[in-house]
Structure 1
Amino acid sequence: MDSTSTSQFSPKWQFRFNFFDTYGAPNTPAFKAAYKALPFGQKIKVNFNFFALFFSWIYLFILGMWRKALTILGITIVLMILVSFMPAVVGRGVGIGWSLLVALTTNYAYYLEKVKGDTGWNPFAGMRW
């Protein structure tokens, strides 16, 4: 990746893209080591997306990742149906956990889409598991 290809993005996205380009996917040893060395604020910048936390699949549509958005929407609907049969506290816990998972995967998914050209349906590609 060169700087001209990411110059259309905000400095925050450029920082994230450069980090992913330098150290690879979140499931690689190089990423994990470099991530541990970052200050807390930069860890949040690289690994967490607040818009995705609150707006989930809608934010993915806004970013242009419609395939991944449809995948997240489908899983969200299935989860909503499943937790409707469970106590409310379980439903809230699953909802919070699901929102956090989407927030933690969005930045790398966007990198794959915009920099690497991966337009697949898997929003969790390259994650830690």
Structure 2
Amino acid sequence: MDSNIASSFSPKWQFRFDFFNTYGAPNSPAFKAAYKALPFGQKVKVNFNFFALFFGCIYLFILGMWRKALTILGLTLVLGVVLAFLPDPIGRGIAIAWSLFIALTTNYNYYLEKVKGDTSWNPFQGMRW
């Protein structure tokens, strides 16, 4: 990773960026093997973003990933309309799963944006599924 990029981020982001730089995307075999070897706390640090869990596309806007934020916002609005027709417990379960999904994709998306210069609209790029 470029030292100029690395020095402008917190140690937590530097750790995440170094991990993605070394082992690749979450869907790569090298990433999966290295991820399994990490202790639980470091797994959470690499793969999960608590701010994204609670603030969703607002946090993506704050990070400067406005394209991905708009995509997430559009999908959230469509999902909200669909969920309005489902029973409340099912709708809440799907909404929680959607928030978890955003939290699981944010760190790698931020890496792609800041380190690789990828400004795509696809918030699901390189994910395990």
Does residue 7 of structure 1 match 2:4?
Answer: no
Cα-to-partner distance string for 1:54-96 (whole Å, 9 max, x where unaligned):
0000000000000000000000000000010010001101100
Distance apart, 1:28 and its partner CA: 0.1
Alignment identity in percent? 78
Residue 71 of structure 2: aligned partner: 71
Structure 2 Cα separation of the partners of residues 31 and 77 of structure 1 = 32
Structure 1 residues not aligned, in runs of 5+? none
Structure 2 residues not aligned, in runs of 5+? none
Distance apart, 1:3 and its partner CA: 2.6
Structure 2: which amino acid aligns with 1:34? A
Distance apart, 1:6 and its partner CA: 1.4
Count, aligned residues: 129
Structure 2 Cα separation of the partners of residues 85 and 104 of structure 1 = 27
After TM superposition, the score normalised by the length of structure 1 is 0.99
SS at match of 1:9: coil
Taking the TM superposition and a 5 Å limit, the aligned residue runs for 1:69-108 are: 69-108=69-108
Residue 25 of structure 1: aligned partner: 25
Q: Which runs of 4+ in 1 moved over 6 A?
A: none
Cα-to-partner distance string for 1:16-53 (whole Å, 9 max, x where unaligned):
00000000000000000000000000000000000000
Residue 119 of structure 2: aligned partner: 119
Taking the TM superposition and a 5 Å limit, the aligned residue runs for 1:13-52 are: 13-52=13-52
SS at match of 2:118: coil
